């Protein structure tokens, strides 16, 4: 290989690495800033669908929307109920307290969800969306307090 061809080969591989990095980053995970925007959208959508704010419900509500749990972090009293609801139209979601040894919930279609009584031990618990925790980083956190 001539020196010129060698330089060109190095340049080409650097260009490929840069191109891959550029396209791979946004597909891998949603940034925290994007999640805030998504959760604002989820609040608006909830109000359109149900005629009230999520915070006006008698139980704490966690929306599953655009690969995000909203709110992503929540404090919950031990023994109280939390309602998970999917606000997407075409994507199914679940919630899964895997590290606490619980089974995954059903995979809910848009408008579906279920309530969970927070019977987990006091402290912080991470939970996952079964289909989306790996690639989209759809992970939430609940702190159980007395």
User: Token pair for residue 6?
Assistant: 């060698």
> Using CB under 5 A, which residues numbered 89 to 108 contact Cu ion?
93
Q: Which residue is nearest to Cu ion (CB)?
A: 129
Report the C-alpha gap between 42 and 31 in whole angstroms: 16
Name the minimum Å distance from CB 104 to Cu ion. 11
Residue 38 is a binding residue for Cu ion (CB under 5 A): no
Residue 132 is a binding residue for Cu ion (CB under 5 A): yes
Which of 4, 28 has the CB closer to Cu ion?
28
Q: How many residues bind Cu ion (CB under 5 A)?
A: 4
Name the minimum Å distance from CB 34 to Cu ion. 15
Q: Which residues of 103-128 are buried (b: 16+ CB within 10 A; e: fewer)?
A: eebeebebeebeebebebeeeebebb
Residues 6 or more apart whose Cβ sits within 8 Å of residue 138 = 64, 67, 68, 69, 93, 128, 129, 132
Residue 35 is a binding residue for Cu ion (CB under 5 A): no
Which of 120, 140 has the CB closer to Cu ion?
140
Question: Where along the sequence are the contacts to Cu ion (CB under 5 A)?
Answer: 93, 129, 132, 138
């Amino acid at each position: 290989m001539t020196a010129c061809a060698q330089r060109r080969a190095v340049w080409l591989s650097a260009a490929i690495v840069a191109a891959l990095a550029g396209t791979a980053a946004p597909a891998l995970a949603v940034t925290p800033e994007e999640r805030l925007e998504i959760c604002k959208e989820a609040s608006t959508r909830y109000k359109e669908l149900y005629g009230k704010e999520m915070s006006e419900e008698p139980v704490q509500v966690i929306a599953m929307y655009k690969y995000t749990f909203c709110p992503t972090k929540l404090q919950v009293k031990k023994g109280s109920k939390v309602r998970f609801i999917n606000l997407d139209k075409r994507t199914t979601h679940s919630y899964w307290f895997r590290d606490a040894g619980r089974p995954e919930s059903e995979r809910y279609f848009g408008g579906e969800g279920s309530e969970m009584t927070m019977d987990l031990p006091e402290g912080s618990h991470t939970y996952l969306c079964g289909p989306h925790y790996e690639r989209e980083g759809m992970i939430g956190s609940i702190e159980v307090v007395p």
